[in-house]
Structure 1
Amino acid sequence: MITMSQRKNAWVGPAALLATALAIPAWAVAADEDTEHAHRLTPAESAAPEQGAVPVPGVPALAGGTLPGPSPEATEALLAPLAASAEHPVGPEDLLEISVFEIPELNRTVRVSEKGTISLPLLGEMSVKGLTAMQLESRLRDELSRRYLQDPQVSVFIRDYGSKKVAVIGAVGKPGVYAMLGARTLLQVLAEAGGLVKEAGGVLYVIRAMPEGDSRRLPVNVNDLLTNRDPGLNLPVQPGDIISVPLDRPTYVYVDGAVKTPGRLEELASRPITLLQAIAKAGGTTERASLKAIQILRRGSDGTQSEIPVNLKRIRHGRDPDRPRDLLLRSQEETR
C-alpha cells in the first residue's frame, strides 16, 4: 500500500514495487490554484474500453499487445536444429511410405517394429532404426540395384512419427505427451492438447534440447499467436519439444488518496489495466480529488523508484494516452 505525505507519495509496501496513487486533496498536496475539486470521476466515467482487442474463447486477451515477442536471434537459435537436420531419424512405431518409381508392386506403407526393423518385398527384414529418410532411400537404392534393378529411384516419406513425442504441460485442456503424427506446428499441437484454458498466462514457452546438450526456451506471445495470427510465431514443433503454458499470475496495484474505496487491486499479469480502469475499480474519485496532481509510484527492475506525475483531466479528454503497462504498475515478479 502507499501512504501519502503532505506533498508526495513516499512509501511503497514490500508486496508492491509499483503502485498508482490518486493525489489527495489540496490541503495535503500542493496543486495548481485552478485545480478543480467540484467534479468527481464516477466509475462509469473512469472506465475506458480497451481498443483493438479481439476476444478468443478460452484465451486471455492481452491489452495493447505489450508483451514482447521473441527476438530474431532467439528464434534463429531455436530453429537452428531444423536447418541443420531437415530429417529426423527413423524410430520404432514410425510409419514409412516407400515408393519405387515405375514399380508399384514394391510400393509399401510399413510400420517400424519395436526392434527398429521393417519387412519389404525382395529385401526381407532390414534394420532402419536411426536412419534418416534420405539415408534409408540411399540404402534401399543400393540394395535393389545390387540385387535386382538398374538405377532404381526410391523415395521414403515418414508419414507418422510414432516414435517422436512432444510434451504439452500447464494451462491447456489436456496436458500430456503426444505423438508427432507427421510434421506439426505449435498451433496444431496446442489444438490437439485441448487448447488454452482461461487461466492461461499471456506467454507460453517452447523448450527445445539443442545439439550441444543444453536447452533453449523461446517465449511466444499468446495474443500475437492466437489473436493477431502472427505466422512467425507458429513454429514447427520438433520431437522432444516441451510446450509449457504457465498459469496467469496475479499482480497488484495500490490506489490511495481521494478515491472512494482505496486499497489493493488484484489483476492478472496478462490483462493489465489502465489508470482510468484502476480508478474506476477503486470506486471513482471523491469530490476533493485533485485531478491534475496524480502521482504514480513505480520501482524498476534495478530497484530505483520513480514518481510519475499524471494529469487525469488530460487523459479523460483524450489528450494523453491511457495505456496499460505505461501508466499501470507491475508486481516485483513481473519486473525481474
Structure 2
Amino acid sequence: MTFKSVLSICVILFFSLILLAQVGDISQKDEDDYRVGPQDLLEIKVFEVPELNITTRVAENGTIALPLLGVVDVEGLTRRGVEEKLAKLLEESYLKNAQVTVFIKEYESRMVSVMGAVKSPGNYKLLGSMTLMQLLSRAGGLTGDMGEKIIVIRTFPGGKTASLSIDLDGLMLRGDPKLNIPLMDNDIVNVPIERTYDVFVFGQVEKPGNIQMSRGTGMTLMKAIAQAGGFTQRARRGSVSVTRTVDGEEKKITVNVKKILRGKQKDFQLEPNDVVFVPESLL
C-alpha cells in the first residue's frame, strides 16, 4: 500500500470519527419533520380526557382507528400535523379547545440500509431529511478497508431502480456538497469493501516475494517489478515470464519488458495469483 493510500485512509477515518462524535440522539427537528406512514406506532393523548388516550399502529392504507373519531387518515402528516388534525376533528363534535399530543413510538415506514465497509451496517430509520454523510455517521463511520466509491441503489415510484456512484475522496476529503446527497425511502447504500489479492515476483529483482494489490486499482507487470525493488543488474528483461492458472491449467506468458520501456508495447496487466519470474541474463 502506498503512502498516499495510507494517508487517504487516515484522513477519511479522521473525518469519520469527527462525524461520529457529532452524532447523538435523533434531534427534535428530525422528529418534527418526519412524515407518518404505514406501520408507525403512535401514542395519542388527549389532555384531561384519558378515555381517548390510545396507542395504535398506522394501517397499511395510512389510517388509524380512534375512539369517537373512527378511522382517520394520517399518512404523510408530521407529528404536529396529526395533532392538529385530531384536535380539529374533536373540536368539531366533542370538545372545546382540544389539546392532543402525539408521540411516535416506533418509526417503521421509512427506512434506509447501509452495508459494506461501515462499523455498524444495517437498516436505519429515515427521520426527517437525512444526507449520505449523516447515514454514514449513524452507521459508526467507515472502516479502513473501504474502496474508492459508494454505491446508492434507489427505487423510484413504479418500481424502477437506479444506481448512483459517489466518489469517496470527493465526499470525505474534498467535501464536495453535491456528493452529500439527500437519501430517500428504501435507499440502499453500499460502501464496497476493497478486496486485495497477491501476485508473486521472483528471480532477478531486488526484493522477491508476494505483492498485495487491490481489485479496484489493478496491477501491471511494471508496477509489480517496481514494488519488488526493480531489476537486478543481471536481469534478462527481454523474456520475463508470467505464469497464470486458467481453469485449473497453468499458462506461461513471455513478456518483453524492453519493448514496454521503449513505449513499443503496452504494460502487461496482471491478474490475481500471477507468478512473475525474471530470469538471469546469460551474459
Q: Please give the TM-score of this superposition, normalised by the length of structure 1.
A: 0.47
Identify if the C-alpha distance between structure 1 residues 331 and 113 changes in structure 2 by more than 3 Å, giving closer, same or farther. farther
Does residue 310 of the first structure (1) align with residue 261 of the second (2)? yes
Q: Secondary structure at the match of 1:224?
A: helix
Q: Unmatched 5+ residue regions in structure 2?
A: 15-33, 44-52, 97-101, 243-254, 273-283
Q: 1:115 deviation in Å?
A: 3.8
Q: 1:217 deviation in Å?
A: 2.0
Residue number in structure 2 paired with 1:238: 184
Contact residue 294 and residue 311 of structure 1 kept, 8 A: no
Q: 1:233 deviation in Å?
A: 1.5
Does residue 56 of the first structure (1) align with residue 3 of the second (2)? no
Map residues 1-336 of structure 1 onto 2, 5 A cutoff: 50=4, 54-56=8-10, 59=13, 90-93=37-40, 113-116=56-59, 117=64, 127-132=72-77, 143=89, 161-250=107-196, 258-261=204-207, 265-270=211-216, 278-288=224-234, 309-310=260-261, 329=269, 331=271
Could you tell me how far apart the structure 2 residues matched to 1:131 and 1:261 are? 65
Deviations 1:294-325 (A, max 9, x none): 99x9xxxxxxx9x973369xxxxxxxxxxxxx
Deviations 1:170-220 (A, max 9, x none): 222112211123221111111111122122222221112222213222222
Could you tell me how far apart the structure 2 residues matched to 1:173 and 1:118 are? 40
Deviations 1:15-41 (A, max 9, x none): xxxxxxxxxxxxxxxxxxxxxxxxxxx
Contact residue 92 and residue 129 of structure 1 kept, 8 A: no
Percent sequence identity over aligned pairs: 29
Higher-RCO chain (CA-CA 8 Å, sequence separation at least 6): 1
Q: Unmatched 5+ residue regions in structure 1?
A: 1-46, 61-86, 97-109, 150-155, 298-304, 313-325
Identify if the C-alpha distance between structure 1 residues 219 and 252 changes in structure 2 by more than 3 Å, giving closer, same or farther. farther
Q: Secondary structure at the match of 1:187?
A: helix
Q: 1:331 deviation in Å?
A: 4.5
Identify if the C-alpha distance between structure 1 residues 89 and 223 changes in structure 2 by more than 3 Å, giving closer, same or farther. same
Could you tell me how far apart the structure 2 residues matched to 1:126 and 1:56 are? 55
Contact residue 115 and residue 190 of structure 2 kept, 8 A: yes
Q: Please give the TM-score of this superposition, normalised by the length of structure 2.
A: 0.54
Contact residue 36 and residue 76 of structure 2 kept, 8 A: yes
In the alignment, residue 113 of structure 1 is paired with which amino acid? Answer: T
In the alignment, residue 192 of structure 1 is paired with which amino acid? Answer: R
Could you tell me how far apart the structure 2 residues matched to 1:243 and 1:224 are? 17
Q: Secondary structure at the match of 1:163?
A: coil
Q: Secondary structure at the match of 2:10?
A: coil
Identify if the C-alpha distance between structure 1 residues 58 and 51 changes in structure 2 by more than 3 Å, giving closer, same or farther. closer
When the two chains are superposed, the root-mean-square deviation of aligned CA atoms in Å is 5.4
Q: 1:274 deviation in Å?
A: 8.8
Identify if the C-alpha distance between structure 1 residues 138 and 285 changes in structure 2 by more than 3 Å, giving closer, same or farther. same
Deviations 1:251-282 (A, max 9, x none): 56665775234565321235667988644431
Count of matched residue pairs? 222
